[in-house]
Each structure stands twice: as C-alpha cells, then as structure tokens.
C-alpha cells in the first residue's frame, strides 16, 4: 500500500507505519522493545535515555537517530502496542469484497485488539501523552493514520460523501476499541468481548452498508453529510467526529 497519506512525523529511518515491527532495522527494534519492557515493568517515569540504553544494549544516540528523540520513541511505542495486530485486521478485511461482508469481517478481526497485552503500556503512556502537546499531536497523527486505513478497507473509493461517512465510522470504531480495552482491563471477568464484537459488527455492517450505498447514489441524507433520521448509530458517528 502506498503511504502517501502518512503524516511526515510518522516516518522513521528505514521504516513505514504500514510495515510490521519486525521490518524495523535491528537497532531500532531493540530500542523499541526495550522501551516497552521498561514502561510495562517500571512505569513511564523510568523511561530515560540511560535506562533505554542499558535495557537495549544500544547507544543512546541511536534513539535520536532512529526516532528523532524521546518524543518520537514514545509515539512509536504507542503505535507498537497494537501495530502488527492492526495490520492483520486490515489484511483480513481486504480479503472480502467491499460492503457489509468486509465491514463485518474487519470488526470481528478487531476482537483481539482490546485484549492485547500491549494495552497496559498504552494506558501507562496516555496521561503523559495528554500533558505533552508535541507528543499529543504525534499520537493524534497516528489516529488519523488508523482512520485513513478504513477509507480503503471499507471501500469508500474517491467519493467525498463516502469518505466523510467512513471517517466518522472509523472515529467511532476506534473509540469503541479503546473503550472496550479499558473495560476489559478493569473488569476482565464480566466483559465478554466475543458477545460485544458480534453485536457491534452486526450493527455497524448493516448501518454502514446502507449509508455508503446512499452516499454513492447521492440519494440519502449522507450524500451531503447529514444524519439518517431515526438512526442513532449514524448520529453517534457524526458526533464522535465532531
């Protein structure tokens, strides 16, 4: 896949965000995995240049060379918590023809994301991301990249109305994934991801398939970006994108 839409801030030496983590140069991969181990074991405050160098066995200057500094490394760690699993989800979706079948399969393939072991690292990072405007913007660019994948996976083509609609659905889907991950981490015994994803996939596939068709034909309220009357999911998707 071309990464023409990839924000420049996401690019690292020898690596594109559309590549698996294992495609990173060995030194960068060692640094990234060392940073994740430090955060998971000791917390964010322990993530210093000295600790990363000692944990990875790499020179501290390599952090700046491969990631542009600690902020870039934090962004990469945030992405790496579910990076390869997200690539698998997108690949699973592309195996199906555009429409409700692809949407349903993509959501069901996302079922593993809220239970990812890397979520503990993400929650540890989040308060610090929100306090650092530079890092916050870099992570916001990551979310925009995730949303852009749905434009292809959901088959929005080049139609502006379809793209706007899919972007709202993507924003809502990401919010649900993050929310379920938090609930599963806090209450693992009573949050049944299998049941929730089956329900969510059915609801979104039916709603999105109908609205994408209306937007493509220019016949429904989504042709001009409106909300379908009586469709709370569409209204929620629009509110989530606001």
Question: pLDDT tens for residues 62-119?
Answer: 999 998 888 889 888 888 888 788 888 888 888 988 778 888 999 999 998 887 878 8
Residue 241 inside a domain? The answer is: yes
| Structural domain ending residue among the three candidates 57, 80, 103 | 80
Residues 6 or more apart in contact with residue 101 via CB below 8 angstroms:
205
Same domain? 109 vs 185 = yes
Residue 112 inside a domain? The answer is: yes
Structural domain of 88: 81-242
Same domain? 68 vs 117 = no
Contact 163, 12 (CB under 8 A): no
Residue 1 inside a domain? The answer is: no
Same domain? 202 vs 218 = yes
How do the pLDDT tens digits run along the chain, 242 residues long? 333 333 333 444 444 555 677 778 899 999 999 999 999 899 999 999 999 999 999 999 999 999 888 888 988 888 888 878 888 888 888 898 877 888 899 999 999 888 787 888 888 888 988 998 988 988 888 888 888 887 777 766 666 777 788 888 889 999 999 999 989 889 989 999 999 999 999 998 888 778 777 776 777 655 554 454 445 455 555 554 55
Entry pTM:
0.73
Whole-number pLDDT of residue 86:
84
Number of compact structural domains in the chain? 2
Whole-number pLDDT of residue 54:
95
Same domain? 152 vs 220 = yes
Residue 162 inside a domain? The answer is: yes
Contact 60, 52 (CB under 8 A): yes
Residue 26 inside a domain? The answer is: yes
Whole-number pLDDT of residue 15:
44
Residue 238 inside a domain? The answer is: yes
Same domain? 32 vs 71 = yes
Same domain? 75 vs 98 = no
Same domain? 33 vs 117 = no
| Structural domain ending residue among the three candidates 27, 58, 80 | 80
Same domain? 150 vs 44 = no
Whole-number pLDDT of residue 58:
94
Whole-number pLDDT of residue 171:
92
Whole-number pLDDT of residue 11:
47
Same domain? 92 vs 37 = no
Contact 180, 114 (CB under 8 A): yes
H helix intervals, the chain: 26-42, 49-56, 61-67, 70-80, 83-94, 100-109, 119-131, 133-153, 160-186, 193-217, 232-240
Same domain? 21 vs 103 = no
Whole-number pLDDT of residue 33:
92
């Amino acid at each position: 896949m071309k990464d023409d839409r990839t924000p420049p801030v996401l690019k690292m030496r020898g690596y594109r965000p559309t590549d698996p983590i294992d495609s990173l140069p060995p030194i960068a991969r060692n640094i990234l995995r060392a940073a994740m181990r430090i955060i998971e074991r000791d917390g964010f405050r322990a993530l210093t240049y000295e600790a990363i160098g000692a944990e990875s066995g790499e020179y501290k200057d390599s952090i700046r060379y491969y990631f542009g500094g600690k902020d870039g490394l934090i962004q990469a760690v945030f992405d790496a918590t579910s990076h390869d699993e997200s690539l698998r989800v997108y690949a699973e979706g592309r195996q199906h023809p555009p429409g409700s079948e692809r949407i349903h399969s993509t959501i069901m393939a996302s079922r593993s994301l809220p239970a990812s072991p890397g979520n503990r690292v993400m929650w540890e990072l989040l308060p610090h991301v929100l306090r650092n405007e530079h890092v916050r913007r870099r992570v916001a660019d990551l979310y925009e990249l995730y949303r852009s994948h749905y434009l292809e996976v959901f088959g929005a083509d080049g139609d502006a109305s379809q793209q706007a609609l899919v972007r709202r659905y993507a924003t809502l889907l990401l919010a649900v994934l993050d929310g379920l991950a938090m609930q599963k981490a806090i209450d693992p015994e009573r949050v049944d991801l299998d049941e929730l994803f089956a329900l969510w996939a059915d609801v979104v596939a039916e709603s999105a398939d109908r609205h994408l068709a209306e937007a493509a034909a220019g016949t429904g309220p989504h042709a001009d970006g409106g909300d379908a009357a009586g469709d709370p999911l569409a209204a929620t998707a629009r509110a989530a994108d606001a």
